[in-house]
Homo-oligomer: A and B are copies of this chain.
Amino acid sequence: MIPLSDMNAACGLPLVKEPRSADDAVDLARRLKALADPTRLLLLSLVASSRGGEACVCDLTEPVGLAQPTVSHHLKVLTDAGLLARDQRGAWAYFAVVPGALDAIAARLVEA
């Protein structure tokens, strides 16, 4: 961590508090990219509002009006970003919203 005084000296910008670190920006941007898509926001909302808080791909394909591989792709993006949890039960894959995941991102958004 570079001291605030050194950063001021380095870039000449008068700071009143520490700006977000570059690493934090990269990581947060990666998670926000997963959310910054209408289809994925819709999928997230559909899963969250489903009975039991979970849904399988076959339930989601028709509401979003996209082909099955596309829906599967979006669910993978959301899962890789830590927003959805995947639970395989027999031939079906059930997806549920990871508790607190959205809140954590929202908190990082407003904290700085």
Task: Return A4 CB to nearest CB of chain B, in Å.
Answer: 9
* Chain B residues whose CB sits within 8 angstroms of the CB of A98 once the complex forms: none
Given the complex of chains A and B, what is the CA–CA distance between A14 and B15 in angstroms? 52
* Chain B residues whose CB sits within 8 angstroms of the CB of A15 once the complex forms: 49-51
Closest to A8 in B: B51
The answer to whether A42 touches B19 (Cβ under 8 A) is: yes
Task: Return A96 CB to nearest CB of chain B, in Å.
Answer: 13
List A residues 3-37 near B (Cβ within 8 Å): 11-20, 22, 25-26, 28-29, 32-33, 35-37
Task: Spell out A's residues near B (CB within 8 Å).
Answer: 11-20, 22, 25-26, 28-29, 32-33, 35-42, 44-46, 48-51, 53, 55, 59-60, 62-63, 102-103, 105-107, 109-110, 112
Q: Quick one: copies of this chain in the complex?
A: 2
The answer to whether A16 touches B106 (Cβ under 8 A) is: no
The answer to whether A36 touches B33 (Cβ under 8 A) is: yes
Task: Return A22 CB to nearest CB of chain B, in Å.
Answer: 6
* Chain B residues whose CB sits within 8 angstroms of the CB of A35 once the complex forms: 29, 32, 36, 109
Given the complex of chains A and B, what is the CA–CA distance between A23 and B63 in angstroms? 14
